[in-house]
Chains A and B, each alone.
Chain A
Amino acid sequence: MNLAQVKELLQAEVLSGEEKLATTHALSVCGADLMSDVLAFTKEKTLLLTGLTNPQVIRTAEMIDLVGLVFVRGKRPSEDVIAMARERGLPMLSTKLPLYETCGLLYTAGLPGCSARAANG
């Protein structure tokens, strides 16, 4: 699924990387607020759903090449953090939905979690 489809599904606002949404594909999704868990358990080409909006989320995305970020519960990072994402060409969305419902919508639409991807190779 590409991030333009994710944006539609979640009725999300685009915060950065609008030009890359249609060409950026997520193979799996991770929902977490703990960056150490994200570092430990995600595969490549993963979309992260999170309620954290600090610079370490962008750093984490950079370290493990996350395909994009979705901030849940209507959260928005500061302009500094949005600028960091733009510099790195990292797509970011913000949805009003809470984490559980965001996960549910993407899972029902066919996007697996990282552990399912690991099990299926």
Chain B
Amino acid sequence: MIQRFPVAGEDFSAAGEASSKIKNILRQVGEDAELIRRVCIAAYEAEMNLVIHAGGGEMILKLDTDMVEVIAQDRGPGIPDVELAMQEGYSTASDLAREMGFGAGMGMANMKRCASEMLIDTEVGKGTTVTLRFKTGKN
């Protein structure tokens, strides 16, 4: 199953709606609560990054027999130095994002901590695709 959710850039009142929908779907299909928690934290951080940095984009949820995959895709500015972006405490977020309780340089590290696997495909000026994979423990 594949579901796609558009995410608007700079819209802080709607930010989180896609992750909320992903959570509801995972609950409906009866995924384990701990897994749902990890997926939601990572998805929400990824969604906030789309809102804060990328001018919006798309969240994609893929459900497989042994894997939940969340993909955050955008056509934003790209990440010039991925290693630096992964460092806790490093952030290029706006003051507005910081006022919302984000932009402290925790998001990428949080995603990596929650996911079984995290892939970043980025090109400056073209955009970024972050793929988050979660093994479900089912066969």
Residues on A lying within 8 angstroms of B by beta carbon are: 33-40, 44, 52, 54-57, 59-60, 62-65, 80
Contact = CB atoms under 8 A, between A and B. Distances in A.
Contacts of B40: 63-64
A60 B101 contact: yes
A33 B99 CA distance: 9
A64 B20 CA distance: 10
Q: For chain B, what secondary structure do more than half of its interface residues adopt (helix, strand, loop), or is it mixed?
A: helix
Contacts of B119: none
Given A62-B16, A64-B41, A35 B100 contact: yes
Nearest to A81: B13
Interface in B1-45: 12-13, 15-16, 19-20, 23, 33, 37, 40-41, 44-45
Which 8 A-B residue pairs are closest in the complex by CB-CB distance? A59-B16, A35-B101, A36-B106, A63-B40, A56-B100, A39-B41, A63-B44, A40-B110
